[in-house]
């Protein structure tokens, strides 16, 4: 396929912008301030589960003005039907000893809730000073396990979304806004 056709097909799948760059930045700055205000002298560890949250983490970490570190994990959860087997496979783990930190898990989107539910339970066994979850987006209508984030920047209906770190088939992560994906244009 030639360049023009590829580009046309790429853009056709971006249905509509749900949250602009400006709206996202305003919400991220507010969340960063709230985290900074909660600082009690112990370091904060922002934990991102790769890959979707990398853009949110980059912006949120720069909106925080108190001592904080970042860490990355790769995780996969195993389920029998809708029930978690409790087995979460960590393909890449944190370097840090979480018992020294207030841990904040930074997630891109909570859909069924399965991955985060298992990661939260795993990290709790490592005795962090505290553990909170902040998510950029939340799709509560899709939940398969009972899971609630402490902070959610935007709540959306059951739309498949792309941009600001979120992908479809690994593309569109680099869009500066969050958009609805146009399944009909595939």
Indicate which residues carry an active-site annotation. 111
Residues with Cβ within 8 Å of 149's Cβ and at least 6 positions away in sequence, in order, are 107, 110, 116, 133, 134, 135, 138
Q: Rule CB under 6 A: is residue 55 a binding residue for ligand IMP?
A: no
Total chain residues near ligand IMP (CB under 6 A): 12
For ligand IMP, the binding residue among 48, 61, 84, 115 (CB under 6 A) is: 115
Residues with Cβ within 8 Å of 4's Cβ and at least 6 positions away in sequence, in order, are none
Q: Which does 110 bind (CB under 5 to 8 A by kind): ligand IMP, Mg ion, none?
A: ligand IMP
- From residue 49 to residue 68, what is the string marking binding to Mg ion with x (rule CB under 5 A)? ---x----------------
Q: Do the beta carbons of residue 50 and residue 71 sit within 8 Å?
A: no
**For residue 113, how many other CB atoms are within 10 A of its CB?**
22
Q: Rule CB under 6 A: is residue 161 a binding residue for ligand IMP?
A: yes
Q: How far apart are CA 29 and CA 16, in angstroms?
A: 24
Query: In a 3-state reduction of DSSP, which class is residue 172?
Result: coil
Q: Which does 112 bind (CB under 5 to 8 A by kind): Mg ion, ligand IMP, none?
A: ligand IMP
**Strand arrangement of the beta sheet that strand 44-49 belongs to:** 83-92, 68-80, 44-49, 102-110, 130-138, 151-155
For ligand IMP, the binding residue among 52, 56, 59, 106 (CB under 6 A) is: 52
**Which residues between 82 and 121 bind Mg ion (CB under 5 A)?**
108
Q: Which residues bind Mg ion (CB under 5 A)?
A: 52, 108
Residues that bind ligand IMP (CB under 6 A): 52, 108-115, 160-161, 166
């Amino acid at each position: 396929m030639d360049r023009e056709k590829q580009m046309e097909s790429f853009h056709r799948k971006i249905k509509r912008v749900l949250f602009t760059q400006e709206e996202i930045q305003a919400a991220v700055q507010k969340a960063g301030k709230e985290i900074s205000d909660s600082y009690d002298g112990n370091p904060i560890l922002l934990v991102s589960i790769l890959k979707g949250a990398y853009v949110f983490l980059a912006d949120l970490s720069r909106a925080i003005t108190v001592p904080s570190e970042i860490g990355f994990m790769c995780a996969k959860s195993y389920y029998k039907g809708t029930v978690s087997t409790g087995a979460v496979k960590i393909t890449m783990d944190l370097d840090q000893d979480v018992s020294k930190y207030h841990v904040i898990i930074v997630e891109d989107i909570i859909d069924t809730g399965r991955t985060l539910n298992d990661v939260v339970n795993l990290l709790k066994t490592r005795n962090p000073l505290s553990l909170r979850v902040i998510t950029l987006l939340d799709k509560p209508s899709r939940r398969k396990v009972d899971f609630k984030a402490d902070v959610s920047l935007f709540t959306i209906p059951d739309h498949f979304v792309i941009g600001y770190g979120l992908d479809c088939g690994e593309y569109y992560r680099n869009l500066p806004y969050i958009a609805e994906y146009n399944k009909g244009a595939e």
